[in-house]
Structure 1
């Protein structure tokens, strides 16, 4: 899911740019089966982390089919602000957004959220 940030900046400075498609993001054809297998073995997850806007786009329908009430029961986590915005646009109620898209920032944000909610509810589930 290409963003137009760089082309707009370059255009504003009258710098020409030729875009080339070097890869294409496609959905995993086995996602729905993998989710169904997970549900059969484990049940509903406590949280679900998205790492990209394309992950949100490609997962939403499969998640809704396998876990129809998941929107209300799962804590939704985004690796960064761009992914969080995509999640919100698709109707996800985002609980945690990492301040920047790095593994450390993601972990820190999840732990901070969990600590706040343990303090609020006493059980860590929010």
Structure 2
């Protein structure tokens, strides 16, 4: 089992999540600091970003764990890590493409990063 496709897909989704984090930090800041009242104006997006960030980090860690030979992991862990990575990228893609402007993105940027035949093949 090859982790290359998982790494590539997770790198693409991580880059987009980082872009969202930066865009929202700027949008919800005042005098150079994050403003909770400004964040409260769109709690859904902030909540979703927290979940997407956590899911992204868990998927990356799971793939790294599954391919760590010193831990004695097997093909089962690798299959599970690939499946979870695929679900994670699909979830991030779905969330960001459903409301790109709210996440500080454009539809074109989401398509460029997460919609391709290669990405579709990995997710399936």
> Same-fold call, TM > 0.5?
no
TM-score, normalising length from structure 2? Answer: 0.25
Structure with the larger strand share? 1
> Larger C-alpha radius of gyration, 1 or 2?
1
TM-score, normalising length from structure 1? Answer: 0.25
